[in-house]
């Protein structure tokens, strides 16, 4: 998870934040992820590029059996500690989202703000699709390319921002319910522009 493709960078950032008692990301789940997954019946889920595990922990609290995957062991360690405090049981896997595929297909894969260049993002989405059961759901959200000029937050390198066509092509073969730009209101009342994808793997 993140804007720099280096697990060493993220290990250091997560470790520094943990030492100061702070969180790198919000403790609460992403609002859009919460909205679109709350209507699904609990099953097996993967939070791909989970970071500190905010979405994974929320899903687990809703009865999902969750595997949280991230290439930063330090980020997952924070999530594991939070899970223990909340008495939640999750599976924590240190792995690269661009190469990792679940050996057991799941009902839901969440990808939230995995900011990568197009080729690497496409690889991660392909792995997510491979990890899905027939009928399973992919829910993806990330900073859109238009956010650089018209929104707030996120990477300042356009190569690390989502392009709708890239995401749509990567999800080819899925039944797409939504693939569009999404205006998100930040905590300080400003607007950030995300790309969202909500799709299911065909049963046919």
In a domain, 166, yes or no: yes
pLDDT number for residue 199: 98
If one counts the domains in the chain, the total is 1
| Assigned domain for 1 exists | no
Q: Are strands 191-200 and 175-185 parallel, antiparallel or unpaired?
A: antiparallel
Q: What is the pLDDT of residue 16?
A: 67
The pLDDT value recorded for residue 187 is 87
Tell me whether residue 2 is in a domain. no
- Predicted confidence at residue 17, as pLDDT, reads 67
The CATH number linked to 18 is 3.40.50.150
pLDDT in tens, 80-101: 999 999 999 999 999 999 999 9
> Helices 54-61 & 73-86, crossing angle to 10 degrees?
30
- What residues of the chain score a pLDDT lower than 50? 1-3
Query: What is the C-alpha separation between 20 and 69, in angstroms, rounded?
Result: 24
Question: For the sheet containing 106-112, what is the strand order?
Answer: 91-94, 65-70, 44-48, 106-112, 132-143, 191-200, 175-185
Whether residue 186 is contained in a domain is answered as: yes
> Cβ contacts of residue 81 below 8 Å, gap of 6+?
none
Q: How many CB atoms lie within 10 A of CB 31?
A: 12
The pLDDT assigned to 1 comes to 41
CB 191 within 8 A of CB 151: yes
Range of the domain at 124: 7-200
Picking from 159, 156, 158, 149, the residue whose alpha carbon sits closest to that of residue 193 is 149
The per-residue pLDDT for 22 is 65
**Tens digit of pLDDT for each residue in 134-170?**
999 999 999 999 999 999 999 999 999 999 999 999 9
């Amino acid at each position: 998870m993140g804007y720099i493709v280096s697990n060493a960078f993220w290990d250091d950032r997560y470790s520094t934040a943990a030492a100061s008692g702070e969180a790198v990301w919000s403790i609460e789940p992403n609002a859009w992820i919460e909205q679109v997954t709350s209507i699904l019946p609990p099953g097996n889920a993967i939070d791909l590029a989970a970071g500190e595990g905010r979405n994974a922990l929320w899903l687990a609290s809703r009865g999902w059996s969750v595997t949280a995957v991230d290439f930063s062991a330090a980020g997952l360690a924070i999530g594991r500690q939070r899970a223990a405090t909340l008495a939640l049981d999750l599976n924590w896997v240190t792995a690269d989202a661009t190469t990792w595929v679940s050996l057991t297909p799941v009902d839901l894969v969440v990808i939230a703000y995995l900011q990568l260049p197009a080729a690497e993002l496409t690889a991660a989405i392909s792995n997510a699709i491979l990890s899905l059961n027939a009928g399973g759901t992919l829910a993806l959200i990330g900073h859109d390319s238009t956010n650089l000029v018209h929104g707030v937050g996120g990477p300042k390198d356009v190569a690390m921002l989502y392009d709708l066509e890239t995401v749509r092509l990567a999800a080819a073969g899925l039944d797409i319910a939504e693939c569009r730009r999404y205006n998100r209101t930040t905590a300080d009342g400003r607007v950030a522009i995300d790309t969202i994808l909500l799709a299911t793997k065909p049963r046919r």
